[in-house]
Amino acid sequence: MSTAVLRTEVRLFRREPGTLFWILLFPSLLLVILGSIPSFRQPSDDLGGLRTVDVYVPVAVLLGLIVGGLQSMPQTLTGYRERGILRRMAVTPVRPSALLSAQMLVYGGASLASALLVLAIGRLGFDVRLPGRPVGYALALLGAVLVALALGSVVSALSRTTKIAGAIGSAVFFPSMFCAGVWAPVQTMPHTLARIVGCTPFGAAAQALNQAAAGHWPGWSHLGVLAMWILLLTGAASRWFRWE
């Protein structure tokens, strides 16, 4: 991958205040709002003695990944294809694959930065314990980033225009937020629903992050679900993606 392409994509990314806000700042802002509710800072028997703000830290972490992977990256890639940028790059020494790799690094890096900011605010602002299994948490987080980027690549592959990318991205975005626990943390879902959600990419990621945050190694079943989705989505994106 050309470092010049990566530097260019980073500069373009920094010029998008809306994208910066929704990926980097919105998840942390949501955590601050929730943590400011007094009842959310009290232990709950329904959550196994945890506070609501505790269980929403992994949710806020996933939110930044979902926004970056499903809303922002597909719009950018589809816009490049729509304007003929990828077609013109195909006849230069810089291959379109270099641009795709740079996009994944930019949005993946932004998602990880958002996750670190959420963890820092949770710890410093609301005394949320840092993950008890940091290596397991990092592994689950890496899997979540990869599955978000793979799913975003599929959205890009299926979209001929930015309008279509926005429509498909939104159609996938809201179910992904539900599975990640934005509206109801996985811990509060009925057992059967939680098992079904655990078979989805972000449901598995949420449960793996929750386990690592509580000091347990993420369940291999959840990590296996993440790995399966990464392979399936990457294969689908590779098969369906077109440069023109």
The model's pLDDT over 4-18, given as tens digits with 9 standing for 90+, comes to 788 888 888 888 888
CA distance from start to end of the chain: 20
Q: How far apart are CA 24 and CA 94, in angstroms?
A: 29
Measured distance CA(202)–CA(147) in Å, rounded: 8
Q: What is the pLDDT of residues 14-62, one digit of tens each?
A: 888 888 899 999 999 999 999 999 999 999 887 888 899 999 999 999 9
- 3-state SS assignment for residue 51: strand
Q: Are 107 and 149 in contact (CB under 8 A)?
A: yes
The predicted pLDDT at position 91 comes to 66
User: What's the whole-model pTM score?
Assistant: 0.89
**Cα–Cα distance, 196 to 179 (Å, whole number):** 9
pLDDT at 2: 66
User: Rounded to an integer, what is the distance from CA 190 to the centroid of its chain?
Assistant: 24
Distance CA 148, CA 179 (A): 13
DSSP H/E element including 135: helix 134-158
> For 95-105, what is the mean pLDDT?
80
**Residue 139: pLDDT above 60?**
yes
Q: d(Cα 10, Cα 235) in Å, to the nearest integer?
A: 26
